[in-house]
Chain A
Amino acid sequence: MPEVSGLDIASYVVYLVGAVSFILGLKFLASPTTARRGNQLAAAGMALVVLWVFVTDFLLAGGGLGQAWILAVGIPIGTVAGVVGARRVPMTAMPQMVAIFNGAGGGAAALVAVAEFLRDAPATTSEPILGTINQGALLPLPFIIATLLGAVIGSVSLTGSIVAFGKLQGFIAGRPVKYPGSQVVTAVLFLALIGLGVYLAAVANSVPLFLLFCAIALVLGVQLVMPIGGADMPVVVSLLNSYTGIAVAATGIVLNNYALLIAGTLVGASGGILTQLMCRAMNRSLFNVLFAGFGTGGGTMVAGAAGEQTVREISADDAAVLMAYGRKVIIVPGYGMAVAQAQQPVRELMDLLLEKGVDVQFAIHPVAGRMPGHMNVLLAEANVPYDRLQEMDEINDDFANASVALVIGANDVTNPAARTDTGSPIYGMPILNVDAAENVIVLKRSMAAGFAGIDNPLYGDPKTAMLFGDAKKSVEDLVAGVKSA
């Protein structure tokens, strides 16, 4: 065993304190009352670890001081970018922001792996493939495996997150993008990575082939996320988050650093569970999310079957009267509310209806919006008390007692086809039983299909009335209507 100095021991203690703060932070984050403290605790632990490494590896280690300018330049740039991004982004764009931050982490992990490989790969690379004779000793197997894993997973996470960001932001088509033979391409990329990985680990630590290995992983990240529909991006972001965790853990082994190892593994595992929870909420397997190409045939399918359903329109005033004189109104918010930033007027509508003695509840589908909990965050922002927010299982039986179910820009999560139509791509997904309410009022911009690209027979239901327009404008009209009713 190598000799351990007092400073090394102190470092291990600091990493331990950091690891405990991350574990407790995540634990606190899982409960509403302690969540904020949890985040702050994890951030404090992180600050401690970063500061410690700065002191030991830059200030105390003489050689490192010459490189301190890298931090002096890099950290302020990263901090400004991170803070501006995190503060400026509207609440509706939170999922994209998480995707981008995650991609940055994945990219950093990949770069760390690349830099370590470049440092330790034998200077005179010997290449059976490229012609020279293998003479240098290979890097130790655990080291090279961890390096390859960090590089490949980090790279996939980087480009995958960028595509996920693009889809959520609308830069890239939200629909599944597939081309003939795309699965074959994916398989070939996988095989190439495995082949190259084995070669790099067991035959020669070749720098050019290692860079090719990373490049293929970058392409694979794009290739894996492009065929997935925008509606599934939350699951993808969560999965990529978990990937970055694993990549960070791998670099922890490369650098033999426990802080990286523990934090990365924690996130890898917890991110995996979170992804699983999200899939379960949609009654789909992760495999189905990743490879089914949700809504692929959407365009053709819709045109054939139910494309021509007749819908009933309603004026804002009539809709307001229905609600104002009802017993119970259940509001079903969806992505449309988020896009239109309609949460404030929705709160106003709730207040007015409550004043008139109408019971108002919110029904939150686990995957409403672009992320689980997306609606809760938005409504909390508008000061809707969260005891009014009911999860699907709690409220689904209540729709039968509701005078009005007011659907604000939610589509797929209310689609009865998920219950009845075995041919529908969302068949089997638990949905909100809005069609059990006496009246259903749907606020919608147009008759366009939802994010999953599937037609919604709810709109053809005789007790459903459509109120077309921007959700914010429509809700404001409803508020005015209820006031005068």
Chain B
Amino acid sequence: MELSAFELVAALFILVLAAFVGYEVVSKVPTMLHTPLMSGANAVHGVIVVGAMFVAASAEGPLRIILALVAVILGTINVVGGFVVTDRMLDMFRRRPQGGPEGKG
């Protein structure tokens, strides 16, 4: 709301540069990692919980308090669930046997 012209231009710069970074970081990913990567990115946009916290910090009146509460709950589900589920997926890659399949009968 108190966005000055300078802040707006700065935001625009950040937006464009971050978009290029996002593009570069993800190009050339092995298919195998598509699902974990999607899930990890999903967790990263869980940062919306911070936005929900800002709303909560200034929430007045029952309507905005309820909105803030639901937003905090949803944002937390996104961020916590996202990171945990990604970790679980990646945990399975880690447990591959080292010495080949003959190790176990």
List the interface of chain A (C-beta within 8 A of B): 1-2, 18-19, 22-23, 25-27, 29-32, 35-36, 38-40, 42-43, 46, 49-50, 53-54, 57-58, 61, 63-64, 67, 70-71, 73-75, 77-79, 81-83, 85-87, 89, 91, 94-95, 97-98, 100-102, 104-105, 107-109, 111-112, 114-116, 118-120, 139-140, 142-143, 237-238, 241, 244-245, 247-249, 251-274, 277-278, 281, 347, 350-351, 354-355, 364, 366, 371-374, 376-377, 380-381, 383-386, 388-389, 391
Contacts and interface: CB of A to CB of B under 8 A. Distances in A.
A355 B104 CA distance: 11
A47 B101 CA distance: 39
Nearest to A240: B42
A35 B48 contact: no
Most B CB atoms within 10 A — which of A248, A267, A274, A366? A267
A46 B29 contact: no
Contacts, number: 411
Given A35-B93, A57-B57, A101-B85, A29 B40 contact: yes
B3 A78 contact: no
30 contacts: A30-B26, A32-B32, A36-B91, A40-B87, A42-B44, A43-B87, A58-B57, A67-B58, A74-B69, A79-B76, A86-B80, A98-B38, A98-B82, A105-B46, A108-B49, A108-B51, A108-B75, A108-B78, A115-B59, A115-B68, A119-B64, A244-B45, A253-B11, A261-B15, A262-B18, A266-B22, A266-B44, A271-B38, A374-B35, A381-B92
Contacts of B51: 108-109, 112, 248, 251-252, 255, 257, 260
B53 A54 contact: yes
- B contact patch SS: helix
Contact of B76 (A75, A244, A262, A351): A75
Contacts of B32: 32, 364, 373, 376, 386, 389
Nearest to B70: A111
A350 B76 contact: no
Contact of A385 (B38, B39, B100): B100
Interface string B25-66: 111111111111111111111111111111111110001110
Interface residues of B, number: 90
A82 B74 CA distance: 9
A371 B48 contact: no
Nearest to A113: B51
Contacts of A139: 1
A373 B33 contact: yes
Nearest to A238: B38
B82 to A, nearest CB: 5
A262 B35 CA distance: 22
A67 B57 contact: yes
B54 A35 contact: no
A105 B48 contact: yes
A87 B84 contact: yes
Contacts of B31: 281, 364, 366, 372-373, 376, 391
Contacts of A81: 73, 76-77, 81
A61 B45 contact: no
Nearest to B64: A115
Nearest to B89: A377
A108 B74 contact: yes
A57 B83 CA distance: 24
A143 B44 contact: no
Nearest to A140: B3
A289 to B, nearest CB: 15
Given A78-B75, A104-B78, A274-B29, 17 more contacts: A22-B47, A23-B21, A30-B33, A77-B73, A82-B81, A94-B39, A95-B35, A104-B74, A111-B70, A245-B45, A256-B1, A265-B15, A271-B38, A273-B23, A373-B33, A374-B35, A386-B96
